[in-house]
Amino acid sequence: MNQHTYISFTPRAPQPTYPYRQTSSFNLMLVSQSTSTYPPATPPLVARSLASTPSSSTLPEVEGVRGLPADEAEILYATGLDSLGLDADEPNRWAASLQDEVVGKAAPVYAQKDPHKPDEKAAPYIPTIVRRRAAADPVHCGIEVNTWQPHREWLRPFRAGSVTSYSGVRAGYARDIVGAGPWSNAVLSELAARFVERVAEGCSETLACVAPLASEVHRCFLQYIGQSTATAFLQYLKQHLLSEYRAWWLSSLPSAIVNLFVCSPSPPHAPPFRNVSSAIAVATFIGDLFCEGLLTGSFVQLCMNLVLDKLLCLEEVEALHAVIHHSGERLYDRVPLDDFLVNLQVRCSGAPLTSAVGKMGIYQDVQYHVQAISSLIEGWARARSTPTPSEFSESTTEYSDYNPEHTVHRSHNPPPANQPAEAMAAARR
């Protein structure tokens, strides 16, 4: 029996092209220290980064343009967290519960009926930017946390699979990751967080492979372990990704990219372009996951609106461009992009924008990204001007988190449904 081995090789296939790349001097990657628990007294910075409630849309009202939702009830619905028992008519409850967890006042944890159902009282994910600033400025932003286990069996195939551009090799790594169980809630949450942290290292060609690996891992969970485990992994991935995205792009948070130089009295905690690279990479990851079929249009729409709601700087327009470009044409069938485009044009023409890193020629750069977004949306609209139904038609009342028809899966022999252990072994042969 031939076991799958971890090998080093030089890719010969064409590398995926990212439209947002920094110069080589800013391509340094900072591997943030992963964390899983919180001390009894976490500074307000962390609490605000995790529990702040985004305001409803403040965009100027334009005739025929409807605003995009951005309250906590929409966040719960878009991310699927409403299935955890949170009341939809109490939109502040989620934020309040997160605040309680962060400051150590959470209610006792009750037993879960489903061992693989995400625990609504589990410790929340600390975004990468918060941990970076805490490490650089322990006086004003310091937090003391315990690290995750550094020697997980699945870490090696995870790191290798997140950079390979070959689908067959990546599928083998995904099977090795899933076969390195058992998978408790805590370990599933850690695995999902590793995906978000990997992307937050910054824009790079190799990081285009992280979303396909997440899709393969989800498929392997679904095929080899079970539906409940696959659902829990996807739920944790969405929760952690939303926390990371909000920490970078929600302008009301002190960790946001627009507040890069005013987080604390100390100097900037990292080279500005490195932080911008990480923030753009997180936005790009949302589009990549949607393209893989792991995120719904409502989730992407929410993330777009969190930025569009209070557009302040050039880098936020870049983030919107990244999300739309990497989501692909199918996004037009899920999100009212025509309305979004009008809102974006009003925002970019009605108020002067700045640059979080002090770039010059802001107006020209903003217009470039707006024109690129407009070209994408108008091109997709023209392609749908015929009465032919879309290949990816989706009901407006259906918010399926995962549809195998939306993902191009890699070919391999399916294992027996009732023999997961034997199937995993056979897949490695």
DSSP string spanning 234-265?
HHHHHHHHHHHHHHHH-TTSTTSGGGTT-SSS
Structure confidence at residue 140 (pLDDT) = 66
Pick from 287-291, 310-314, 356-360: least confident:
356-360
381 DSSP assignment = H
CATH of 49-387+398-428, one of 1.10.3720.10, 3.40.50.740, 1.25.40.180, 1.10.150.20: 1.25.40.180
Q: Summarize pLDDT for 375-412 with one digit per residue, the tens.
A: 999 999 999 886 554 444 444 433 334 333 333 333 34
What sign for the dihedral angle of Cα 176, 128, 47, 317?
negative
From CA 393, how far away is CA 334, in angstroms rounded? 9
Domain-by-domain residue ranges, the chain? Answer: 49-387+398-428
Cβ atoms of residues 162 and 209 within 8 Å: yes
User: What is the average pLDDT across 83-95?
Assistant: 36
From CA 274, how far away is CA 129, in angstroms rounded? 11
From CA 232, how far away is CA 118, in angstroms rounded? 6
From CA 269, how far away is CA 278, in angstroms rounded? 14
Say what percent of the chain tops pLDDT 90.
38
Structure confidence at residue 427 (pLDDT) = 56
Tally the C-alpha atoms within 13 A of residue 295's C-alpha that lie toward its C-beta: 34
Structure confidence at residue 135 (pLDDT) = 73
Cβ atoms of residues 222 and 233 within 8 Å: no
User: What is the average pLDDT across 332-359?
Assistant: 88
Q: Which amino acid is at 115?
A: P
Tally the C-alpha atoms within 13 A of residue 412's C-alpha that lie toward its C-beta: 25
From CA 196, how far away is CA 398, in angstroms rounded? 26
The SS3 of residue 287 is helix
Q: Summarize pLDDT for 12-44 with one digit per residue, the tens.
A: 333 333 333 333 322 322 233 233 333 333 333
Report the chain's terminal Cα–Cα distance, integer Å. 6
From CA 429, how far away is CA 244, in angstroms rounded? 38
The SS3 of residue 302 is helix
Q: Closest Cα to residue 401, out of 292, 302, 317? A: 292
The SS3 of residue 214 is helix
From CA 375, how far away is CA 367, in angstroms rounded? 12
Q: Closest Cα to residue 295, out of 284, 306, 310? A: 284
Q: Summarize pLDDT for 293-322 with one digit per residue, the tens.
A: 999 999 999 999 999 988 989 999 999 999
Structure confidence at residue 4 (pLDDT) = 45
DSSP string spanning 71-87?
SHHHHHHHHTGGGGT--
Q: Closest Cα to residue 47, out of 114, 111, 106, 107? A: 106
Q: Summarize pLDDT for 162-188 with one digit per residue, the tens.
A: 999 899 999 999 999 999 988 999 899
Q: 192 Cβ partners below 8 Å, 6+ apart?
A: 233, 236, 237, 239, 240
pLDDT at 325 over 70: yes
Comparing 156 with 94, which gets the higher pLDDT?
Answer: 156
Cβ atoms of residues 235 and 80 within 8 Å: yes
pLDDT band for 421, please (50, 70, 90 cuts): low
Element (H, E) at 339: helix 337-350
Tally the C-alpha atoms within 13 A of residue 120's C-alpha that lie toward its C-beta: 18
Phi-psi region of 296 (alpha: psi -120 to 50; beta: other; left: phi over 0): beta
